[in-house]
Amino acid sequence: MKGLKKQRRIQVIVLAVVAMVASFVAFYLAAPDALQFFRAPSEVIAEAPAASETFRLGGLVEVGTLKRGEGASVTFRVTDGAASVPVRYTGVLPDLFAENQGMIATGKLVNGTFEAIEILAKHDETYMPREVIDALKEQGVYVDPNAGAATN
């Protein structure tokens, strides 16, 4: 009887491990773009991600770089104080999107330009995404949490 309980316990443990592995594999195969990593511009310049990788790029919209093209096309540069990455986006920008303000974009790096599919801007004058604040602080840029803008 003791051997049967031990065998049953081992079977349950093996079944649980197989179920966990199967669920992780199913999640990975079903949603490969759901696992998006945040990168600051200096990280993108130091080690460019693969062209097929979707990731989030965040920082400040560099002053003087925001240019509107035909239709809803927009180009600008995102900076963290140490490096900047050109961004191209086609679509409607958030109302609070402006130069020298924090933002996060989702997309892919194509030939050195970040092709954004979604852009998020701060939601009020005092908010800046935590990832952007951390990236700016790593580069020695002072971020005033009350003003929502950064200075060197």
- The CATH superfamily of 33-147 is Nucleic acid-binding proteins (2.40.50.140)
Q: Is the pTM of this model over 0.85?
A: no
Alpha-carbon span 104 to 121, nearest angstrom: 7
The DSSP symbol for 124 reads S
Q: What is the mean pLDDT of each run of 10 residues along the chain (152 residues)?
A: 84 95 86 72 87 86 87 88 90 84 89 90 63 75 54 46
pLDDT (0 to 100) of residue 77: 93
Alpha-carbon span 137 to 59, nearest angstrom: 11
The residues pairing with 98 across neighbouring beta strands, listed in sequence order, are: none
